[in-house]
Amino acid sequence: MYDYVIVGAGSAGCVLANRLSEDPDVSVLLLEAGGPDTNDLVHVPAAFPALYRTAQDWDHSTIYEPYANDRRIYLPRGKVLGGSSSINAMVYIRGNRLDYDGWGLEGWRYDDLLPYFKRAEDNERGPDEHHGVGGPLPVGESRSRNPLSQRFLDAVASRGLPMNPDFNAGEQDGFGWYQLTQRRGARASTAVAYLHRVADRTNLTVETHVHALKLLFEGTRAVGVRGTRLGEMLDFSAEREVIVSCGTYNSPQLLMLSGLGRPEELEPLQIEVVAEVPQIGVGLQDHPNTGVVYAIDEEISLFGALNDENLLLFESEGRGPLTSNIAEVGGFARTRGGLDAPDVQFHFVPGRFQSEGLMPGEGHGFSLGVCLVTPKSRGGVMLGSPDPTAKPLIVHNYLEHEDDVASLVSGLRMCLEICSTEPLGELVSGVVQGPASDSDDDLLTYARQYLMTLYHPVGTCRMGDDDGAVVDRELRVRGVEGVRVVDASVMPSVPRGNTNAPTIALAERAADLIRGRTPLRPQGADAESAPAETAAATAAGGARSGAAGPVSPA
């Protein structure tokens, strides 16, 4: 029997496990379907594509995308302590103020969340009105600084586009170096930042390799979780709450397997209906991405970076090419006038990133991707089988909406223009992957064929005040008791930018809601208390966790 059972040790689950177990009188169980983060490749930033389709990856894909040539698009998700924060590109981006204010939910506006972004953060630039220090999450500068990345920024400047030294300081438009969730050049996942540091707390238990099958209910109250490990059925009891933190694809799947959803879909699968929650799995959003890949003759890209010399440099000094997060630089832009904020984001890679990252480049080169950060297309997550080990059915309907098409086509044209501009364009020796021309038709044809995810799905367990919302403003699932969802699936719309930092801030605030604490006050009101609170929590102790694995090299 535990007070809280958290399902999923990802970006949100690790935060919750740390914060809820700060109270020594509360017992917390954290369940993870994957294993401990002991694979060395997890901690080497440049190696994250090597984790795709391994034991550390759920290896999801869409069903046939109707607006992307009926392709099945690969959707990597972390299946390991740290979840997708253990296999992502580590870019620290909060999104735009308009994103959160646009949710229209009291307590979840940008000013409400800023104290939680700051409480989480330990930014090497130091504290100011936008940033915090002393929090669990390291945020720092790239230690790779590949010369191709600087050439990209120089080409952007040559085109008259603005620079931006800090995408998280109010103004989002412009280009620059991304800050990263790294410490001393190594990945700082939420497992590293939040979980391992409290690994000796006696009131926190971490169980890995436990695949959750369903939530257990007495009437409409959740009382636990049923899972399986190596064929053994395991039941875990929750005295207070079950917290579902399985991510945008797996959280709705687990809820539907547990009898929450649309009766007309559950009953044919012989799933007993516990509560009708009609919007579970609906409203799926993501940042669709496409881009161009070029060959160069000069040997300055990341091609061949995984060698003994660079491994030694990484291990001994925490610097060098292996500290690269692949997408070292980028920025935000507006593809047309009249927009209140950027509608596209760019990620530049000093290497050949192609075939959805599943195939290594065959020589030196560079890539530039553009993603739509304000998608209007909507998809969903459904059950295809009553077997909990079956993958969910996922369709994003990428490029369904004509506004999405217009923005992505314009962004792709900007990619071509930037990559042909000196001093970047002078390096190009050939096109590895690109459209036939810069006409709208050719750009759209290319986008449909080479479109991929930028790994930012949200929205399938939407938070809101209306009856159609899956969870309320305190993230409690409607129609039942004792269940919350805390992960990116509750976001009503996807923020402009990489979603790891917003998910962490959301979980920080959720922890206060669950504990019944007064939320941190907006603006700078938390500046004095947050580091002290964090330090006290760190000193308070650790967890029994025979399955959690050792502290990572970060």
Relative to beta strand 543-544, strand 121-123 is: unpaired
- Rounded to whole angstroms, the Cα distance separating 296 from 304 reads 14
Are 119 and 526 contacting, i.e. CB atoms less than 8 angstroms apart?
yes
Are 331 and 156 contacting, i.e. CB atoms less than 8 angstroms apart?
yes
pLDDT tens for each residue of the chain, 554 residues long:
999 999 999 999 999 999 999 999 999 999 999 999 999 999 999 999 999 999 999 999 999 999 999 999 999 999 999 999 999 999 999 999 999 999 999 999 999 999 999 999 999 999 999 999 999 999 999 999 999 999 999 999 999 999 999 999 989 999 999 999 999 999 999 999 999 999 999 999 999 999 999 999 999 999 999 999 999 999 999 999 999 999 999 999 999 999 999 999 999 999 999 999 999 999 999 999 999 999 999 999 999 999 999 999 999 999 999 999 999 999 999 999 999 999 999 999 999 999 999 888 899 999 999 999 999 999 999 999 999 999 999 999 999 999 999 999 999 999 999 999 999 999 999 999 999 999 999 999 999 999 999 999 999 999 999 989 999 999 999 999 999 999 999 999 999 999 999 999 999 999 999 999 999 988 644 443 344 343 333 333 333 333 333 333 33
SS3 225: strand
- What does DSSP assign to residue 212? E
CA trace torsion 133, 136, 140, 146 (10° rounding): 180
- What does DSSP assign to residue 425? G
- Whole-structure pTM value: 0.94
- Rounded to whole angstroms, the Cα distance separating 240 from 483 reads 9
Show Cβ contacts of residue 79 under 8 Å, excluding neighbours closer than 6 positions: 33, 34, 55, 56, 57, 58
Helices vs strands, H then E, count in the chain: 13, 26
Of the listed 287, 364, 396, 456, which one is catalytic? 456
> What domains lie within the chain, and their CATH numbers?
143-177+288-374+399-450 (3.30.410.40)
Show Cβ contacts of residue 426 under 8 Å, excluding neighbours closer than 6 positions: none
Burial class (CB in 10 A: 0-12, 13-18, 19+), 541: middle
Are 56 and 64 contacting, i.e. CB atoms less than 8 angstroms apart?
no
- Rounded to whole angstroms, the Cα distance separating 303 from 292 reads 17
- Rounded to whole angstroms, the Cα distance separating 107 from 10 reads 23
Residue 122, φ and ψ in degrees, nearest 5: -130, 85
456 has catalytic annotation: yes
Radius of gyration of the chain (CA): 22
Are 449 and 73 contacting, i.e. CB atoms less than 8 angstroms apart?
no
Upstream peptide bond of 423 is cis (omega within 30 degrees of 0): yes
